[in-house]
Amino acid sequence: MKILLTGSIAEGKFVKGLSDIDVMVVVRDVDVVKDRFAIHRVKDVDVEITIVSEKELKEAIRSGNQFYIRALKKVLQYLMQIKRRKFVINTSHKL
């Protein structure tokens, strides 16, 4: 199972009181999952959860499904930002 934060929080544009938290859960087999789409309120923030199988995700990307493509792009952009920050932090300590 993989849990990915997507949407505004992955873009670094989360605004408390306006934004929700988008979570994509990628599982091997969705047949064991009862609810694949859900919204839960945690304190004062809506958490939107989407559960998708690895196979469905691959097929959605192949077919050009923009919902999943945009979500994964945001995750990748966020990971690249973290990687750059770690590099900057690590190299600044060596100076």
pLDDT tens digits along 20-48: 999 999 998 877 677 888 899 998 899 99
**Residue 79: pLDDT band with limits 50, 70, 90:** confident
CATH classification of the domain holding 84: 3.30.460
Rounded Cα distance between 46 and 69, Å, is 22
pTM: 0.71
In the predicted structure, residue 91 carries a pLDDT above the cut 60: no
Number of domains in the chain: 1
pLDDT tens digits along 4-27: 888 888 788 889 889 999 999 999
* Range(s) of the domain holding residue 41: 2-94
